[in-house]
């Protein structure tokens, strides 16, 4: 397990995230692109603890299943909060030390604009593949 400390640009929000490993993914979905201004680079945390600035958090409910949390003071994109099962997918740019992080996958690749691409051998998934992989089983919806 890797422990990462991080904060937003203004420093109002500070957190500690426990990660299974140093790999992370890029998301090209239209919602992430509007929210962060480009692709979102994030890692699902095994555990996320807000150590300062809980009151500065701004949460926006972007779908029935998730909300997006930013700093209300400086507007930094912090994490994507999946409601059920609860999961925090934390933006890697907010980590104090990103030096060991490795981009390993890209999701919603069919929504990536043509103007940029990431080099390297990355696992790619389309929207349909992501939805199939994460959708709850029939009957549980």
Partner 1 sequence: MSDRRAGGCLCGAVRFSARLPEMEIEACHCGQCQRWTGGGPLLAVKVENLEMTGEAAFSTYRASTWGERVFCGTCGSTLFWRMQGEPAGYVCVGLLDDQSGLAVKREIFVDHRPGWLPHWEDASQSTEAEQMDILSAYLKEQEK
Query: Which among 4, 5, 50 has a CA at the least distance from the CA of 23?
Result: 4
Q: Does 19 bind partner 1 (CB under 8 A)?
A: no
Give CA–CA dist 28/129, Å, rounded. 14
Q: What's the min distance (Å) between Cβ of 78 and partner 1? A: 7
> Binding partner 1 by CB under 8 A: which of 91, 107, 109, 125?
91
Site string for partner 1, 22-61 (x = CB under 8 A): --x-x----xxxxxxxxxxxx---------------x-x-
Q: Does 87 bind partner 1 (CB under 8 A)?
A: no
Question: 45 and 88 in contact (C-beta within 8 Å)?
Answer: yes
Integer Cα distance of 12 and 78 in angstroms: 12
* Least gap, CB of 18 to partner 1 (angstroms): 18
């Amino acid at each position: 397990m890797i422990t990462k400390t991080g904060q937003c640009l203004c420093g109002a929000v500070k957190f500690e995230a426990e990660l299974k490993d140093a790999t992370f993914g890029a998301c090209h979905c239209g919602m992430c692109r509007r929210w962060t201004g480009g692709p979102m680079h994030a890692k699902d945390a095994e555990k996320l603890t807000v150590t300062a600035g809980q009151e500065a958090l701004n949460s926006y409910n972007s779908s029935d299943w998730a909300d997006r949390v930013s700093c209300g003071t400086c507007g930094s994109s912090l994490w994507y909060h999946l409601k059920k099962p609860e999961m925090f997918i934390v933006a890697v740019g907010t980590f104090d030390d990103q030096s060991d992080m490795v981009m390993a996958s890209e999701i919603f690749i069919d929504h990536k604009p043509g103007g940029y691409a990431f080099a390297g051998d990355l696992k790619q998934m389309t929207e349909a593949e992501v939805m199939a992989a994460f959708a709850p089983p029939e009957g549980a919806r």
